[in-house]
A = this chain, B = another copy of it.
Amino acid sequence: MKVSRRATFNAAHRLFRSDWTDEQNSQVFGKCSNPNYHGHNYVLEVWLEGDINPETGYVIDLKTVKDVINSEISDRFDHRNLNLDCPEFAELNPTAENIALVSWNLLRAKLPMHLALTIKLWETENNCVEYAGN
C-alpha cells in the first residue's frame, strides 16, 4: 500500500555550474541560465510504501508526512533563491533532478525507514521528475 502527500513551494533558481563561465552556462542551459534567476511554483508529491498498521488503518499518519515536508522542504526552499540561499545548491546545479535528489535525501532522513520512499517533483505543469533512491 502506497500513500502520498502533496505540497508546493516557490523558489528562484538558475541552471549554472560555478566552474563554467556565464557564456558556457548559457550555451548549455539556454534561458534557464539567465544570470538574474527565474523561478517556479514547485509541486512535490511524497509517496511512502508499506503495510497498513492494523491498529490505526494508516500506513502512516499523513499529518506526520505534512510536518516533515514543512520542516525539511518548505522551510528550507520556499520563497528562497536555491542558488544563493540554499547551501545544498552552492556547488550543485539546481536542476529538477538535483532538487529531487536533495529533497529525497532530506526526507529519507526524517521518515520511518521501514517505508519505501518515492518522490515526484513538478517544475512546471509540463515538466516532472521522479526519484526513488538508488
- Of the listed residues A31, A59, A81, the one surrounded by the most CB atoms of chain B closer than 10 A to its CB is A81
Across the interface, which residues of B come within 8 angstroms of A6, CB to CB? 125-128
Given contacts A39-B39, A95-B56, contact A127 B10 (CB under 8 A): no
The complex places the Cα of A7 from the Cα of B124 at a distance, in Å, of: 12
Chain A interface size band reads: 35 or more
Nearest B residue to A94 by beta-carbon distance? B57
A70 at the interface (CB under 8 A from B): no
Query: Are B36 and A11 within 8 A (Cβ)?
Result: no
A129 at the interface (CB under 8 A from B): yes
A76 at the interface (CB under 8 A from B): no
A105 to chain B minimum Cβ distance, whole angstroms, is 13
Per-position binary interface string of chain A over residues 81-101, scored 1 when its CB falls under 8 Å from any chain B CB and 0 otherwise: 100110000001111111011
